[in-house]
Structure 1
């Protein structure tokens, strides 16, 4: 995040607060620092005497006790930290005003892309400030009705809908719910017409899809419930089950996984659209999978291996009779589509269908066509192909930005997709697949004038000479005077690509006169598998160097300066922020690490963390890997006597993906060792998880806190409008 300090910004704030521009002033850093420190007295955090030894090196872990999420002492620490944090946040004079502006921006009807199941067309809708999206449906041209309202799942809105799947004829629905933000799910089965629940919920489901076989039952995935805390204990063996309707979950058939010889931490099973094949993907980590198929048209048909190693990311996208269409990066770092017959599906028999290009491919199907979406410097370009592999046309998009997957059922005549970028709210388009014509189906109702803003792609050079793209979004006519509050947001990992998308929260930041910058760091997938690998294991420092170079570019080109620069990222991006703020504390005014992986020596001992080793490696792999991880692990690199940026760590008590102990330990280290006057606080959301399904009300409160903390610590004593 960024400092807001120009008079233009102050004047904008004054319009919101009722002050004149002359009354709104910016405090200098010394004045602000003194004021902030006077307000903060941190809770005492007990230091233990735990010491681990890695390859003969002793490493102290004084806050190990904070890993116990079920202890009364940890609970008391959380309560004490939140008390200090919220007292500080509540003292910021414009926090409530900012919250009200966020509510106002958020308060418009949002409708998702329609999809057809049986006799009904379904769509997700939020009337503005509902905590959870509601599933609506319409039969033909009749009146729309509520089908499923997750806001009724719990009184406080913290139980969310995560997956909805219909049987082949659309007569039965199965949906998964998350309680308090946890990754553990329950699956509920109901009659789609009467909405009557048909059986007892399935429980202890995690990291799972719901894939129906006809109308008789469905496949789902889960782990055995771990010993100890279900929110932090290790989960290591993922399994695929088949649930037949009407039978108790205890009788569900184990289909795949659980082998002592070959551990798979992630297993997924899905049925092809024609109900012909069950496709099973297994993975030891977040990258690479083996692949199997079973012909469901034959009684007791065996599992047939397509791939028996974990050297590629490969999946079946469609089939025509026994002809399979697969998307793969095997021998093709930017991905391609191949075909093969199910009777002999090994890679030796693959035939290129849509060959690899210099740009990264994502493929989908619908209405009897393939759609190949390419990332060209992280921006979408889409081509349509027929089932003979002939290119039909390019799909014309409104401009530079991101198109969602164009997909649907084979018999659909019209397909729907959305288009967005950092300054353009998402618009839904209807595509006549045969004619190739797109028409606007639904415009966004957001109260945001995109024409007042510009979003520009730049390229900068990282420490080793690598060319890295970055999108910079701000108001038109921005004065490059080095005083613009700026949020630099990044991720850089797990082959995940950051493509342009609109955010209501970021719209509020842009309205305030802020700059929002997003670089496409190594470790992501924007330039294929090689770009991903360049930010993994012993090359992870490349990611941090790319992010630091992005900050330096913004400063050198006068978009901002260190006094007005905030860094933000979540999960792996939280690690990114933790690493760069400990490596270059001088470069940033504010640091905003969210749900971050902060203890790189122990991350693999919690929940499914061991599956992240493809990107990170582990401290047990080798002495070299241990030393490398220890060299950047945020928890282990907070040094006494250093002035760190104003820091607001955010996490949640039900985060069972990146357990909150990471953030607890990092915040404790910062509070113990911070030499400068800037505050180091931790905000711990309750009844919330890693992010998915977070109620709208909680999201608004969190962004109001993040933005007000950022602006206040950039010297703003009243709020830009």
Structure 2
């Protein structure tokens, strides 16, 4: 490779790797894997090739003046928010626990307030006991507020370490919990706060075929030996829980009389079980089947209040909030408390002592807030502005206090308390950072007609004075998987692109949840092509309506969004100036056909064991569908060497093949993260560096 400052020469000499084709045949169809040897990441020559690729990426960015400018600008933006509160938790007793950044010590420190109006106290500085790993990434107080579970940075490993801080004795307890991953299942405190339940992973060696499998929930009482690990759910053969599912347990409040357990996997709906708390605490739970996947109950949207179970279930017309009697369960004929619609589905709800609060999201970007009183009467609450995102905090069935967090594309995150009359007042604990330079930005929501006539929501952010002259540079962020909506978020770093004169574009493609469960189903498995066709339609809309032109559209995604974005680039490479992806899934067929399959992701993409789903996997695979002698846009993949969900070879294969096939004078870069896992947790500087590379790459490769 030869490059200088802000312009790249037309000479790209990539690290060489010979083809090692392997043919796999399923149901009479042959699939060619050109770079199969990359699957063996421990092979010395593969390590040499990967290191060479990463060195090439470092060389590309090393003397890039544009990167330096972005790095400085992003540091200035982020420095305004350093010192803000993070991981804020409110106990049942309305105690506040949170981290606050200490600029002198350069770490987050645990703070505590007895109540919102009470004095703030510094509680725990983790660098005293853990000088080599002082970063706290998880926080969960007990129901009585006397103990706080703290998770230390996993540093890219799959599991982390949990310590318990005792607020009364002002010290860390002796027990240390290992083999736990809070992303898969955190600390579930027992109602009386005498201990907790957590998901234990006995197999954490990524080189072994049973990696992450055969997990089960254990109960731990404070003061016991943490190695004791008394199984509480998941090891019973009679429940027939698959080895790659996650047998998790959920607790809700100090008043819990029942405990709910479920068999977690990819997807929204799980099989669940229920037992009395008394039996669970005694270690002899009599788990009984509760609800199954056929009830379409969202696994994270159910709450026990007294003798009732209140839950959210998926329906074709936008979801419902329902209620059943636990002692006389009838999920076929529940009491329906609230209904959504296809364009404005119910997406969240929370329960307090006497009320139920819930959220409707129009097309996933316009939030409205509602309250159901003790007489089941629904009222809409007045919000201070029209937010694009909302979530609740501080709720419990033990009281009627509750708060809501509001956010939007151009509206910074603010927390509000909701009084009994439904009025919202600013909580005030987390100060809002002012960004006056973004006051001239506006948002626009348009509906784009896709390939089959379906209307796809498209969110745009740009300056008020922007002209539709086909010269605007567009930065597209797309996802479209697992029913996850591309909800509005306030990011000073992203908004910088719009403030500098560009356009931010967020296509809400099928595979997400913006129009309810059906929107997700229309972007899964055999109909996954809807996801990238929706994206292509949105890009074409921007060109046809003079927002921009071909060659001025940078495409960014992460994780599962790699399928949507990668296939859009494969089918319409001329539309995009660059393709950038963090920890992306680029070879879903390879992952699902591997012996160490990625857990239950087949629920989203399909399995090679089914003839139709197999064909869908081949069709959606960006790696398999690259075309020889094609001009592809500049490409930057940023995988992690410690990713527990998507192995490094997934991106490596795609890059190797793309470098071989590409006939355009565009850079094809593999920038490997050797410090973090699937989630980048390396801290402020690492986040800034990552975004500086992403946006400078997008800017540098605009084809004017």
Q: 1:284 to 1:137 in 2, by over 3 A?
A: closer
Which residue of 1 is the match for residue 79 of structure 2?
Answer: 107
User: Displacement, 1:169?
Assistant: 1.3
Match 1:614 to one of 592, 596, 603 = 603
Query: Given the two structures, how large is their TM-score scaled by the length of structure 2?
Result: 0.90
Query: Given the two structures, how large is their TM-score scaled by the length of structure 1?
Result: 0.88
Q: 1:245 to 1:72 in 2, by over 3 A?
A: farther
Q: Superposed, which structure 2 residues align to 1:287-686 within 5 Å? A: 287-297=268-278, 300=284, 302-309=286-293, 312-315=296-299, 317-329=302-314, 334-348=318-332, 350-358=334-342, 359-361=344-346, 362-366=348-352, 368-378=354-364, 379-405=366-392, 407-411=394-398, 414-439=401-426, 441=428, 442-604=430-592, 605=594, 609-622=598-611, 624-686=612-674
Q: 1:168 to 1:439 in 2, by over 3 A?
A: closer
Q: Deviations over 1:306-357 (max 9, x none)?
A: 214455234463333222222222x566222222222232414522223454
Q: 1:348 to 1:95 in 2, by over 3 A?
A: closer
CA distance in 2, matches of 1:79, 1:593: 19
CA distance in 2, matches of 1:153, 1:689: 24
Q: Do the aligned partners of 1:186 and 1:201 also contact (CA within 8 Å) in 2?
A: yes
Q: Do the aligned partners of 1:648 and 1:682 also contact (CA within 8 Å) in 2?
A: yes
1:187 aligns with 2:150: no
User: Displacement, 1:70?
Assistant: 4.1
User: Displacement, 1:666?
Assistant: 0.9
- Indicate the larger mover: 277-286 or 491-500: 277-286
Q: Deviations over 1:33-56 (max 9, x none)?
A: 995244642112243343323233
Pairwise CA RMSD of aligned residues?
2.9
CA distance in 2, matches of 1:542, 1:152: 53
Q: Do the aligned partners of 2:511 and 2:521 also contact (CA within 8 Å) in 1?
A: yes
- Indicate the larger mover: 275-284 or 471-480: 275-284
Determine which structure has greater relative contact order: mean sequence separation of CA pairs < 8 Å that are 6+ residues apart, divided by chain length. Answer: 1
Which residue of 2 is the match for residue 163 of structure 1?
Answer: 138
Q: 1:248 to 1:347 in 2, by over 3 A?
A: same
Match 1:277 to one of 230, 234, 258 = 258
CA distance in 2, matches of 1:683, 1:155: 30
Q: Do the aligned partners of 2:392 and 2:402 also contact (CA within 8 Å) in 1?
A: no
User: Displacement, 1:395?
Assistant: 3.7
Which residue of 2 is the match for residue 211 of structure 1?
Answer: 188
3-state SS of paired residue (1:254) = strand
Q: Deviations over 1:250-269 (max 9, x none)?
A: 42222222466341613321
- Indicate the larger mover: 529-538 or 145-154: 145-154
Q: Do the aligned partners of 1:415 and 1:433 also contact (CA within 8 Å) in 2?
A: no
User: Displacement, 1:156?
Assistant: 8.1
User: Displacement, 1:212?
Assistant: 0.9
User: Displacement, 1:629?
Assistant: 2.0
User: Displacement, 1:571?
Assistant: 0.7
3-state SS of paired residue (1:43) = coil
Q: Deviations over 1:158-193 (max 9, x none)?
A: x75343222221112222334223342222223133
Q: Do the aligned partners of 2:4 and 2:64 also contact (CA within 8 Å) in 1?
A: no
CA distance in 1, matches of 2:118, 2:69: 42
CA distance in 1, matches of 2:422, 2:170: 38
CA distance in 2, matches of 1:608, 1:590: 30
Q: Do the aligned partners of 1:240 and 1:268 also contact (CA within 8 Å) in 2?
A: yes
CA distance in 2, matches of 1:480, 1:511: 16
Which residue of 2 is the match for residue 706 of structure 1?
Answer: 694
CA distance in 2, matches of 1:511, 1:675: 34
3-state SS of paired residue (2:413) = strand
- Indicate the larger mover: 263-272 or 221-230: 221-230
Q: Do the aligned partners of 1:497 and 1:520 also contact (CA within 8 Å) in 2?
A: yes
Which residue of 2 is the match for residue 28 of structure 1?
Answer: none
CA distance in 1, matches of 2:105, 2:468: 39
Which residue of 2 is the match for residue 6 of structure 1?
Answer: none
Q: Deviations over 1:619-675 (max 9, x none)?
A: 2321x3323322231111122200100011111121112222211111111112211
Which residue of 2 is the match for residue 242 of structure 1?
Answer: 219
Q: Do the aligned partners of 2:92 and 2:398 also contact (CA within 8 Å) in 1?
A: no
Q: Do the aligned partners of 2:23 and 2:30 also contact (CA within 8 Å) in 1?
A: yes
Which residue of 2 is the match for residue 10 of structure 1?
Answer: none
Which residue of 2 is the match for residue 222 of structure 1?
Answer: 200
3-state SS of paired residue (2:484) = coil
Q: 1:530 to 1:108 in 2, by over 3 A?
A: same
Where does structure 1 lack aligned partners over 5 or more consecutive residues? 1-30, 717-721
Which residue of 2 is the match for residue 26 of structure 1?
Answer: none
CA distance in 2, matches of 1:156, 1:514: 42
User: Displacement, 1:78?
Assistant: 2.8
Which residue of 2 is the match for residue 9 of structure 1?
Answer: none
User: Displacement, 1:242?
Assistant: 1.4
Q: Do the aligned partners of 2:305 and 2:397 also contact (CA within 8 Å) in 1?
A: no
Q: Deviations over 1:426-476 (max 9, x none)?
A: 122232234523336355214343321001111110000001111100111
3-state SS of paired residue (1:85) = helix
3-state SS of paired residue (2:589) = coil
Which residue of 2 is the match for residue 14 of structure 1?
Answer: none
Match 1:202 to one of 173, 177, 197 = 177
CA distance in 2, matches of 1:67, 1:151: 39
- Indicate the larger mover: 211-220 or 243-252: 243-252
Q: Do the aligned partners of 2:179 and 2:201 also contact (CA within 8 Å) in 1?
A: yes
CA distance in 2, matches of 1:60, 1:160: 44
3-state SS of paired residue (2:259) = strand
Q: Superposed, which structure 2 residues align to 1:80-119 within 5 Å? A: 80-109=52-81, 110-112=84-86, 115-116=90-91
3-state SS of paired residue (2:402) = strand
Where does structure 2 lack aligned partners over 5 or more consecutive residues? none
- Indicate the larger mover: 548-557 or 341-350: 341-350
